[in-house]
Amino acid sequence: MPRTSETLIEQSKYYDAEAQRAKAVIDAEFDYLAGPKGMLDNPFLTELQEVMAGADLEEKLERLRKLEGDYKEDSWEFNRRIKQILARSTDEAAREILNRRYHERYQVWLALNALIIAVKQQAEAARVARDLLKFARAFGEAGD
């Protein structure tokens, strides 16, 4: 029968892997947001880059939530203006461009939400892995 500390170490490895998977999602979502279909022309990108450069996951999560709220408010105003223009416009090409831009902003908002969820998952998995290693050390020192 495996020792308790060995079992805890194995479980911590699982959560480390979960944190790495979440990090891969974070990287993919950030690449999307910083890419040509994301926020490239958006002032929110600078703030997003600053947030993602931070090391503390809890602070990063808090700042991402604020950024997401700010982006949502900005998008609501942007979308309200687009809907007004679409309602008055008879130019089909202009309507198509505005409609596409409306949907692009929505996709960015979804990507921001996915980024927030992934950071939250990474922070939680990293915390659980650290806690399991602490318990493993305690059990190891106590002789299981």
Domain assignment present for 144: no
Contact residues for 89 (Cβ-Cβ < 8 A; gap 6+)? 95, 98
DSSP state letters, 13-55: HHHHHHHHHHHHHHHHHHHHHHSTTTTTTSTHHHHHHHHHH-S
Domain assignment present for 143: no
Domain assignment present for 65: yes
Domain assignment present for 92: yes
Domain assignment present for 64: yes
Give the domain extent around 11: 4-137
Q: Count CB-CB contacts under 10 A for residue 49.
A: 13
Number of folded domains that form the chain: 1
pLDDT band at residue 1 under the 50/70/90 scheme: very low
DSSP-derived letter for residue 56 is -
Supply the pLDDT for residue 40. Answer: 53
Task: Give the 3-state secondary structure of residue 89.
Answer: coil
Q: Considering only CA atoms, which of 129, 18, 39 is closest in space to residue 52?
A: 39
Supply the pLDDT for residue 60. Answer: 85
pLDDT band at residue 42 under the 50/70/90 scheme: low
Supply the pLDDT for residue 58. Answer: 81
Count H helices and E strands in the chain, helices first.
Answer: 4, 0
Domain assignment present for 89: yes
Enter the pTM of the model: 0.71
pLDDT digits over 67-113, tens only?
888 888 887 888 788 888 878 878 888 888 888 878 877 888 888 88
Report whether pLDDT(41) > 80: no
Which phi-psi region, left, alpha or beta, contains residue 143 (left: φ > 0; alpha: ψ -120 to 50)? Answer: left
